[in-house]
């Protein structure tokens, strides 16, 4: 478990996570309202160097950010019934060429990729501290998580 004491710490963790991301990666962010899923995605976007502000995708389902090392596809799965809907959305990038970050995606998008990183964010009562857990599925995630934690 990693403690993120401030919004700045969450942003910095996102930037560091971005350094180990590859084309085709799926990152699933889970956690309650206000846990920091969008804040973390903003850090990932900054780390990838994408242009345009990363905001909550709530009203668009998916938003593509280009101009960085890899395109970032930011998805709000809240109202999706399946990630096939994102595949069918005719985005101007392919998911296989991009990093796809899904908020609220647990239990929904696993079928999209055999390999994925699940990031679980939790809040504590009356505190800014966020607790972050990483669960990697797929061969290269174990190494990449180790790499991330070693840099801590």
Ligand X SMILES: Nc1ncnc2c1ncn2[C@@H]1O[C@H](COP(=O)(O)OP(=O)(O)OP(=O)(O)O)[C@@H](O)[C@H]1O
When the beta carbons of 15 and 24 are compared against ligand X, the nearer one is: 15
Of 1, 33, 125, 150, the one binding ligand X (CB under 6 A) is 33
Two structure tokens written together for 83: 């990630």
Q: Which does 98 bind (CB under 5 to 8 A by kind): Mg ion, ligand X, none?
A: none
Q: Is 106 in the site for ligand X (CB under 6 A)?
A: no
When the beta carbons of 52 and 96 are compared against Mg ion, the nearer one is: 52
User: What are the φ/ψ torsions at residue 42 (nearest 5 degrees)?
Assistant: -60, -40
Nearest by Cα to 139 from 106, 114, 107: 114
Q: Is 39 in the site for ligand X (CB under 6 A)?
A: yes
Of 10, 30, 98, 100, the one binding ligand X (CB under 6 A) is 10
d(CA 103, CA 105) in angstroms, rounded, equals 5
> CA geometry: angle at 146 spanning 141 and 150, to 5°?
150
d(CA 60, CA 96) in angstroms, rounded, equals 21
Please choose, out of 4-12, 44-52, 59-67, 91-99, the segment that lies near ligand X by the rule CB under 6 A.
Answer: 4-12
Q: Is 147 in the site for ligand X (CB under 6 A)?
A: no
Q: Is 31 in the site for ligand X (CB under 6 A)?
A: yes
Q: Residue 77 to residues 58, 61, 63, 74: CA-CA distances in angstroms?
A: 9, 7, 12, 10
Binding site for ligand X (CB under 6 A): 4, 6-7, 9-10, 31, 33-39, 56, 103, 128, 130
């Amino acid at each position: 478990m990693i403690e993120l004491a401030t919004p700045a710490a969450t942003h910095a963790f996102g930037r560091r996570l971005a350094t180990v991301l590859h084309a085709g990666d799926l990152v699933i962010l889970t956690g309650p309202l206000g846990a920091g899923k969008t804040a973390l995605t903003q850090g990932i976007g900054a780390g990838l160097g994408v242009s345009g502000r990363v905001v909550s995708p709530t009203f668009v389902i998916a938003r593509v950010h280009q101009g960085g090392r890899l395109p970032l596809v930011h998805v709000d799965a809240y109202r999706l019934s399946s990630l096939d809907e994102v595949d069918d959305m005719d985005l101007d990038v392919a998911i296989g060429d991009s990093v796809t970050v899904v908020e609220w995606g647990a239990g929904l998008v696993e079928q999209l990729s055999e390999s994925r990183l699940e990031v679980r964010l939790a809040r504590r009562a009356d505190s800014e501290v966020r607790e972050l857990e990483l669960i990697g599925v797929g061969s290269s995630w174990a190494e990449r998580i180790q790499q991330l934690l070693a840099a801590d």
